[in-house]
């Protein structure tokens, strides 16, 4: 591994930890009555890969990454930066660099601004569809399994489709720009299907 690659990974490591601390503090400030369980679930939703990738895209990090690529490698870098996992890593690396170069307060202000949509959506008692489905399936003593059934388009515009099964029975399909997003959409469909069955 080249030293430059290693340095980026070290910044990503630091940024991941800094992000968790900043988001935890902000959620505690916003929701003084929330218990540890709710705070943990809310934090998980704010710092997940899709939220980090969205923050990176809003800040123009993928474009900056491609522009900084060596001569003749810009197109490859642009394709790489289109991947949600890479965008999330970029966000965490920049947070790590800011923590070292700008200090805690400046980094905190930047993170709170960049992750404002995810922070605003994090509410006590809320669960993402996958978590809600897992809890409902456990209550019904049913197994949950996700399977990727399709992936279409170039890397920068790829759309994934996932099917979720409960005890082997197909209960919903969903699509999204990442595997995680497609699983969330499939889980939401499955929850709707269960509600419709219960209503019959």
Compute φ and ψ for 149, nearest 5 degrees.
Answer: -110, -15
Q: What is the DSSP letter of 158?
A: -
Residue 185 and residue 172: Cα distance in Å, rounded? Answer: 8
Residue 200 and residue 190: Cα distance in Å, rounded? Answer: 16
Residue 65 and residue 77: Cα distance in Å, rounded? Answer: 7
Indicate which residue of 26, 50, 92, 183 is catalytic: 92
Would you call 92 a catalytic residue per the annotation? yes
For residue 1, what are its two tokens? 């591994």
Pure H helices in the chain? 3-30, 36-46, 49-58, 61-67, 74-81, 84-101, 104-114, 116-121, 129-139, 179-199
Would you call 16 a catalytic residue per the annotation? yes
Indicate which residue of 16, 26, 128, 136 is catalytic: 16
Residue 55 and residue 8: Cα distance in Å, rounded? Answer: 18
CB burial of 58-89 (b: ≥16 within 10 Å; e: otherwise) equals ebebbeebbeeeeeeeeeebbebbbbbebbbb
Q: What is the DSSP letter of 69?
A: S
Active site residues: 16, 92
């Amino acid at each position: 591994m080249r030293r430059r690659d290693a340095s980026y990974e070290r910044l990503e490591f630091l940024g991941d930890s800094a992000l968790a601390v900043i988001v935890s503090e902000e959620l505690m400030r916003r929701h003084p009555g929330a218990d540890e369980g709710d705070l943990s679930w809310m934090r998980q939703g704010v710092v997940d890969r899709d939220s980090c990738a969205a923050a990176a895209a809003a800040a123009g990090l993928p474009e900056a990454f491609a522009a900084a690529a060596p001569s003749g490698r810009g197109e490859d870098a642009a394709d790489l930066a289109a991947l949600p996992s890479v965008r999330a890593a970029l966000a965490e690396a920049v947070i790590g660099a800011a923590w070292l170069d700008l200090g805690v307060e400046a980094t905190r202000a930047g993170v709170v601004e960049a992750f404002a949509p995810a922070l605003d959506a994090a509410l006590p008692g809320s669960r993402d569809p996958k978590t809600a489905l897992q809890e409902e399936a456990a209550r019904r003593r049913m197994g949950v399994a996700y399977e990727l059934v399709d992936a279409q388009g170039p890397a920068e515009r790829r759309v994934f489709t996932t099917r979720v099964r409960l005890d082997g029975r197909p209960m919903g399909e969903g699509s999204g720009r990442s595997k995680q997003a497609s699983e969330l959409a499939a889980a939401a469909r499955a929850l709707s299907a269960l509600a419709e069955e219960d209503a019959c």
